[in-house]
Amino acid sequence: MLLNSICGTEAPSFLGIFDFSTAPTLLFYSYIPILIISIILSSIILVKDNYSVRSKLFFGIAMSFALWILNVLVQWVSSYHVGLMFAWQLTVLFEISIFIFSIAYIRTFINGNNVSWVINGILLIVYIATLIAVPTIYNIQSYDSVYCEGSLGIFWYFVYGFEILTLLWVLIIGIKGYITNKQDYNKRRQITLMTTGLTLFLLAFSVSNIYGEITQNYEVNLVGPLGMVVFLGLVTYTIVRYKSFNMRLFGSQALVYSLWVLVLSLIFINKIDVVHVIVLITLVLLIILGIILIRSIKNEITQKERLQKISLELYDANEKLKGLDKLKTEFLSLASHQLRSPLTAIKGYTSMLLEGSFGEVTGVQKDTIDKVFQSSKHLAKVVEDLLNVTKIEQGGMVYQMAPFDMEKTAKEIVDDLRITAEKKGLVMDFKTDNQAPYTLNGDMEKLRQVFLNLIDNSIKYTKGGSISVILGKNKDKIRFSVTDTGMGMTEETKQSLFQKFARGEGGKVNAGGSGLGLYLAKEIVGAHKGKVWVESPGVGKGSTFIVEL
């Protein structure tokens, strides 16, 4: 009979269940705007931040708080004992959830998604213990049918103790995060704002509840949720100021939604003298929020104008750079062509001198002429590389595609360079995986240049050990690889090795290289719809260059 009966003299005029006349005057203005803003704000953050862990935890705080408010509203305006008793039982579940989510949120906000299974386990145990206590006398010891309210059980001593411990825990996490991030000013500011907001919210919430229970003056609970306003305000500020969450145009949306809710809440005020006070408070809030909104829009317009100006300046600078790049390419092409003819003559005449075409030369003279010949030969290769680069950049590189035997070409290159390798004391071998024929349709001369360059590099950058050249098949592709026991390389070097003029640590060993060989290799192989890359276990552990066609 008690469950289905009405509390005291209440008259349930709304939905036949609720009587709004029993509620304190400022109940709806205090609770409903905060309730709606919490739900809207946390939902926007959750969606706009792509459902990140910290946005989910913030959503957890807001929804636990919203459920707690709804539960308290039921306690104030429900006319039937069954609704009141049920609401009193559920209070502990929503209240403990706020503090559990707060700990998890501040830890994630400061430390990222570094999971501590011990702490998560403790929080889970607290929640399960609360869940078990909900329907017992340890939660609500008894229910007073005269005053229509419950009497808290001994479990609430644990709840209030946990709330105080949570407050200290949040402060410690915030202070520790502030000290740890001493090199990052913006991060420290965010930590300060977020820790301050969360602490003030939990403090106002917990103290008002504890004080209300001690004094049995439950209207003081109306003050507690105001801490949520401070917390939400600081969250909004950190989003707009520091982009703490991955969101755009959030500030304007949050301010407009806040205005809607504040005005909507006036509907629930029936007394005209109270309405005057509320309108005045709302007007002050409208002025403050309006100023913030105007400044926000003004700053956005200013930034947009600056970005447009910078964009135009970048466009002009980019056009100038394109012009300079074109002039550079043309200069390289012209200079290379002009150098090629005299270099060819120098190579030809020094070769004839070494062969004795103009008479016998002495040993000292022969050594000197040989040095000239080798230098001109090296310079000719650099000039040839520069010409090829300009052809590629201007789209003028021509490829003579025809079928050829890669095994024959690779073996010839190895035989040509074997003498050079043996002079350095290196062992060089060539082998296949016995899946002949290795016939390929491509420009044999240009691919020969690629293979020659890769083997030559291995010889240059290997002080001792061996070089192994392997030709094989990988499904429908032919794979050419050169493995050495040379200097190896780091991950950073591997990333930049095939760019123009990039030489890595090899430049310290062989200062005469141009840094264009591997760039050309990548472009030539790419033109054949293949790929070239390097593998190395680390510095001093050798390298393997691989071409797949």
Q: Which SS3 state, helix, strand or coil, does residue 544 take?
A: strand
Are 237 and 370 contained in the same domain?
Answer: no
**Among 373, 393, 413, which residue terminates a domain?**
393
Residue 360 shares a structural domain with residue 502: no
Alpha helices in 155-225 (DSSP H): 155-180, 185-215
Is 411 in the same domain as 388? no
Where are the alpha helices (H) located in 356-461, listed in sequence order? Answer: 363-393, 406-423, 444-460
Structural domain of residue 522, as residue ranges?
Answer: 402-548
Around Cβ 158, how many Cβ atoms within 10 Å?
A: 16
**Whole-number pLDDT of residue 367:** 76
Contact 467, 484 (CB under 8 A): yes
Residue 259 resides in a domain: yes
What's the CA gap between 411 and 413, in Å, rounded?
A: 5
Whole-number pLDDT of residue 511: 46
Q: Which residues pair with 472 in a beta bridge?
A: 479
**b/e map 367-377, b = 16+ CB within 10 Å:** eebeeebeebe
- Tokens 């052809």 appear where? 391
Q: What is the C-alpha to C-alpha distance for residues 389 and 325, in angstroms, rounded to an integer?
A: 13
Domain holding 97: CATH number? 1.20.1070.10
pLDDT, averaged per 10 consecutive residues of the chain (549 residues), comes to: 62 68 65 79 81 88 90 81 84 93 90 79 93 92 79 91 93 90 82 88 86 74 69 70 56 58 59 60 66 70 84 86 72 60 69 71 74 70 66 72 89 87 88 86 87 87 88 87 88 79 58 68 86 86 89
Whole-number pLDDT of residue 190: 85
Q: Among the three residues 393, 424, 456, which one is the final residue of a domain in this structure?
A: 393
Residue 13 within a domain: no
Fill in the amino acid letter for 373. Answer: F
Spell out the alpha helix ranges (H) of 437-502.
444-460, 491-496
With tokens 């820790």, the residue in question is 195
Length in residues, the chain: 549
Neighbours of 397 (CB within 10 A): 18
Pair 94, 166 in one domain: yes
Maximum alpha-carbon separation in the chain: 132
Tokens representing 213 are 């229970």
Is residue 455 situated within a structural domain? yes
Amino acid at 285: L
Domain contains 497: yes
Whole-number pLDDT of residue 169 = 92
Alpha carbons 63 and 60: distance in angstroms, whole number:
5
Residue 298 lies inside a defined structural domain of this protein: no
Q: Has residue 437 been placed in a domain? A: yes
Report the relative pairing of strands 427-432 and 439-442 from DSSP bridges.
Answer: unpaired
Domain identity same for 354 and 254: no
Best CA proximity match to 101, nearest among 67, 70, 143: 67
Rounded to whole angstroms, what are the CA distances from 423 to 70, 112, 463, 537?
A: 88, 57, 11, 27
The rounded distance, in Å, linking the Cα atoms of 24 and 374 is 100
pLDDT of residue 1: 44
86 and 203 inside one domain = yes
Q: Tell me how far the alpha carbon of residue 333 is from its chain's centroid.
A: 43
Domain count, the chain: 3
Decide which of 270, 290, 309 is a domain's last residue: 270
Q: Tell me, yes or no, whether 94 and 65 share the same domain.
A: yes
Is residue 510 a part of any domain in this protein?
yes
Check whether residue 347 and residue 438 sit in a common domain: no
Kindly report the backbone phi and psi dihedral angles of residue 438, in degrees, each rounded to the nearest multiple of 5, phi listed first. Answer: -110, 60
- The answer on 60 and 207 residing in a single domain is yes
Q: In this structure, are 30 and 116 located in the same domain?
A: yes
The pair phi, psi for residue 481, each rounded to 5°, is -135, 145
Q: What does the pLDDT read at residue 29?
A: 63
Residues 70 and 209 in one domain: yes
Identify the CATH number of the domain in which residue 518 sits: 3.30.565.10
Same domain flag for 66 and 184:
yes
* SS3 sequence of 23-56: CCCCHHHHHHHHHHHHHHHHHHHHHHCCCCHHHH
Q: Does any domain span residue 283?
A: no
Residue 81 has a pLDDT of 77
In terms of Cβ atoms closer than 10 Å to its own Cβ (0-12, 13-18, 19+), residue 312 is exposed
